[in-house]
Amino acid sequence: MGNDFRSLFALIFVGFYVARTSIFPHTKYEGSYRGLYLTTLWSHTFLSVINFPMAVVTLYSGLRGRFDRHKKIAPYTAGVWIYVAATGWLIYFFQVK
């Protein structure tokens, strides 16, 4: 049951994030680490797009009792998710200055 709530909160976060980015303009980073920022932003964006279907498949497999499939993909999904979460905070701190 705890995983259901975490998945629900992750889905709510994605919804709010998409709504916020469609309403408010993007900020341009003008600091001295622009190359690092753009590399981090690109990898974060690319992997977050990849991670969404991975999370859906992982969650669906677990909820349907297909644990062999779930156990195969879950470590990769978790690893990508942790990277996306960490780089999300890093991007935030880049923009805050």
What is the per-residue pLDDT across 45-84, written as a single tens digit (0 to 9) for each? 999 999 989 999 998 999 899 999 999 999 999 999 999 9
Q: Which two tokens stand for residue 66?
A: 């297909």
What is the per-residue pLDDT across 22-46, written as a single tens digit (0 to 9) for each? 888 777 888 899 999 999 999 999 9
Q: How many domains does the chain have?
A: 1
Residue 24 lies in a domain: no
- 55 or 18, which is more confident: 55
Domain that holds residue 96: 33-97
Residue 61 lies in a domain: yes
Of 16, 10, 23, nearest to 51 by C-alpha is 10
Residues in the chain: 97
Q: Find out whether 97 and 31 touch, Cβ atoms under 8 Å.
A: yes
**Dihedral over Cα of 64, 70, 71, 74: its sign:** negative
Residue 44 lies in a domain: yes
